[in-house]
Structure 1
Amino acid sequence: MKAIAVYPGKKDSVHLEEIAKPAVTDIPNEMGVLVRVLKVGVDATDREINDALYGQAPPGDKHMVLGHESFGIVEAVGKKVRRVQVGDYVTATVRRPGKSIYDMIGTYDMTSEETYYERGINLLHGYLTEYFVDHEDYIVKVPKGLKHLHVLMEPMSCAAKAVQQAYEVQRRMRVWSPKTAFVFGVGQIGLLSALILKLRGLQVFSLARSKAGTLNSKIVEGLGSTYVSTAETSIDQLVKSVGKPDLIIDATGSSQMAFDGMRCLGLNGVLVWTSITGADRKIEVPSDKINLEWVLGNKLLLGSVNANREHFESGIRDLALGEMMYPGIVQQILTNPVEGLDRYEEMMKLLTNEKAALKVYMNIASE
């Protein structure tokens, strides 16, 4: 069967690879789930792997199949599978456990090992193919009523984890009840984070460079958040107007914005970094002032990457509630479909122009 793959470490090596079709029996103990792939979302991670910035092929292979945002339909299950059945819509988690204690208890997204395993990212093949098989522990059921949001399940899991982790660590405050949040960035993670925060009752300000009127800004407004163009209103001006936020989520991919968050966070607040900055940019920061304010203000910086099954499931619940509260808004994130695995070059071109494509996804098969 066909798959879109790269040769990790070799720049611009994306290509069509012929691989063997998997079988439900590939998974031991009759716990396998065979999924026919319907759609796969792609993002900057796939572009960066093709740019040879990171990623390793699975042992024994020179290639690695791309794609970590899956959506498909179950075609076969092992005899001991209980969570899903044939005909169910599903997605799949991305990271797989290593051998640390965190991996063993199901929090494999928090591994303490340097080597990590992620489908379509590092040491494991991804989902940009016609079929995949996996253990039922990593298969997550998607309600039929949400199938129109398909590939957003994985990015939603990342947003869900970021917000959940912020609340979890702030249990140290005993009665922490945030009222105001800033979300830096209005890509898919930023938009979905804004949705989750609105559902929690916060006043949300979504910050981005572009002036109002873009699709992203309209989605922000459709979710009941306030769009702020930093080209027109600086962060300092926003803070002067509405006060310092209790919670900031950075989803920009800009180290400048990530560190700017440290300057404007409120007392007892938490700043969550979710984006990766893979370049070597250097900026100056008012380190003494930040040091003083963060110690005296009991402020916290938190890094959040990837997600486990719990975050997928809670993210799906929030998507369902979001569809009731803001019908038709989230679906607008899904902007750029690409028809078929053969058109991988079109896929990569769209990924190089982030301003023109909010969310790129591959239509692999019809139902």
Structure 2
Amino acid sequence: MKAIAVHPGRPHSVHLREIPKPSLADIPNGRGVLVRVLQIGVDATDREINDALYGNAPDGNDYLVLGHESFGEVVEVGSAVRDLKPGDLVSCTVRRPGTSIYDQIGRNDITSDEVYFERGINLRHGYLTEYFVDDIEYMVKVPQKLRHLGVLSEPASVCAKALEQAFLAQQRLLVWNPQRAFVLGAGQIGLLATMMLRLRGIEVFTVARQRGPNLKQEIAEAYGAKYISSQETSLADLARHVGKPDLIFEATGSAAIAFQAMEVLGHNGALVWTSITGGQHKVEVPGDKINLEWVLGNKLLVASVNGNRRHFELGIQALAHGELAYPGVTERILTNPVQGLDNYQEMMRLLVEDKSALKVFVNVGA
């Protein structure tokens, strides 16, 4: 069967290849689920792996199948599977267990191992293929009525986990009740975070570089947020005008902005970093000022990576809630479909060259 893969460590090696079709026999104890791929989301992670910034092939292979944002239809289940049946829609988690205590209790998303395993990213093949098989433990059911949003399950899980981590950590304050949030970045993660924060009744300012009017502004404002162009208003000016935020959700991919956010967070506030800023770029920060204000202001920095099964469930619940509260808005994030695995070069072109591409995804069997 067909798959889109790279040779990790070799820049711009993305290619189409034939790989064996998986079967339930690949998963022991009758726990396997065979899935026909419908759609796979792709993002900056796939682009950066193709740029050879990170990523490793599974042992015994010189290639890595890309794709960590999965959505498909169950074809066949093993004898021990009770909660899924053929025809069900599913997404699949990304991290796989290592050896740490966190992995042993099902929290492989926060492993303390130096070596980690992620499908489509590091040491495990991804989902950009026609079929995949995995253990029922990593499968998450998607309601049939969310079929049009199923490919956003993984990005939604990232946002759901990041917000959960911030709220859990802020229980230290006993009465934390954030009223104002800045969301930095208006890609898929920033917009989904905007939606989830608005569902909590929080006033949201979604900050992105591009001046309006534009699609990102339309989506953010349809969620009830205020869209701010950083070319017109700096973070410092925004905080002076509307007040410092109780919560900042950073999703820009810019180290400079990630650190700038530290300068505008309010007292007892939480800053959540979700973006990966690969490379060697250096930024200067007012270290003494930040240190003073953060210590005296009881401020919190939380870093969050991809989620486990429960975070996928929370993300899918948020997508469903968002459809009820803001009908038809979230689907507008899905801007750039690519038809079929054969068009992998167009997929990569959109990721690299098309700055207007909000969300690129591959229609495999949809």
TM over 0.5: yes
The separation in 2 between residues aligned to 1:94 and 1:83, in whole angstroms, is 20
Match of 1:280 in 2: 280
The separation in 2 between residues aligned to 1:49 and 1:354, in whole angstroms, is 18
Q: Secondary structure at the match of 1:156?
A: helix
Q: Secondary structure at the match of 1:361?
A: strand
Match of 2:298 in 1: 298
Match of 1:326 in 2: 326
Match of 2:47 in 1: 47
Q: Which runs of 5+ in 1 are unaligned?
A: none
2:358 is matched by which residue type in structure 1? L
Structure 2 residue 94 is matched with structure 1 residue 79: no
The separation in 2 between residues aligned to 1:125 and 1:277, in whole angstroms, is 23
The separation in 2 between residues aligned to 1:2 and 1:104, in whole angstroms, is 34
The CA deviation at 1:286 is: 1.1
The separation in 2 between residues aligned to 1:239 and 1:49, in whole angstroms, is 36
Q: Secondary structure at the match of 2:244?
A: coil
Match of 2:146 in 1: 146
The separation in 2 between residues aligned to 1:40 and 1:142, in whole angstroms, is 14
Q: Secondary structure at the match of 1:248?
A: strand
Structure 2 residue 183 is matched with structure 1 residue 190: no
Superposition pairs of residues 1-367 of structure 1, within 5 angstroms: 1-366=1-366
The CA deviation at 1:2 is: 0.5
Q: Secondary structure at the match of 1:81?
A: coil
The separation in 2 between residues aligned to 1:195 and 1:295, in whole angstroms, is 31
Contact kept, 8 Å, 2:335 with 2:358, in 1: the verdict is yes
Q: Secondary structure at the match of 1:82?
A: coil
1:244 is matched by which residue type in structure 2? K
Contact kept, 8 Å, 2:9 with 2:56, in 1: the verdict is yes
1:309 is matched by which residue type in structure 2? R
2:44 is matched by which residue type in structure 1? A
User: What per-residue deviation string (whole Å, max 9, x for no partner) do you get for residues 167-202 of structure 1?
Assistant: 010011111111110000000000001111111110
Q: Secondary structure at the match of 1:316?
A: helix
Identity of aligned residues (%): 62
1:89 is matched by which residue type in structure 2? L
User: What per-residue deviation string (whole Å, max 9, x for no partner) do you get for residues 120-165 of structure 1?
Assistant: 0000000000000000000100001100012100000001111000
User: What per-residue deviation string (whole Å, max 9, x for no partner) do you get for residues 14-40 of structure 1?
Assistant: 111111101112100000000000110
Q: Secondary structure at the match of 1:207?
A: strand
Q: Secondary structure at the match of 1:352?
A: helix
Q: Secondary structure at the match of 2:233?
A: coil
TM-score by length of 2: 0.99
The separation in 1 between residues aligned to 2:284 and 2:61, in whole angstroms, is 43
2:197 is matched by which residue type in structure 1? L
Q: Secondary structure at the match of 2:301?
A: strand
Q: Secondary structure at the match of 1:221?
A: helix
Q: Secondary structure at the match of 2:353?
A: coil
The CA deviation at 1:234 is: 1.5
The separation in 2 between residues aligned to 1:342 and 1:124, in whole angstroms, is 22
User: What per-residue deviation string (whole Å, max 9, x for no partner) do you get for residues 58-80 of structure 1?
Assistant: 00111110000111000000011
The separation in 1 between residues aligned to 2:245 and 2:202, in whole angstroms, is 10
Q: Secondary structure at the match of 2:260?
A: helix
2:266 is matched by which residue type in structure 1? G
The CA deviation at 1:353 is: 2.6
The separation in 1 between residues aligned to 2:175 and 2:293, in whole angstroms, is 21
Q: Secondary structure at the match of 1:112?
A: coil
The CA deviation at 1:232 is: 1.1
2:13 is matched by which residue type in structure 1? S
In angstroms, what is the RMSD of aligned CA positions?
0.8
Runs (4+) of structure 1 moved beyond 3 Å?
none
TM-score by length of 1: 0.99
1:44 is matched by which residue type in structure 2? A
1:92 is matched by which residue type in structure 2? C
The CA deviation at 1:279 is: 1.9
Q: Secondary structure at the match of 1:33?
A: strand
The CA deviation at 1:296 is: 0.4
The CA deviation at 1:354 is: 4.9
The separation in 1 between residues aligned to 2:230 and 2:67, in whole angstroms, is 32
2:129 is matched by which residue type in structure 1? T
The separation in 2 between residues aligned to 1:150 and 1:356, in whole angstroms, is 22
The CA deviation at 1:365 is: 1.1
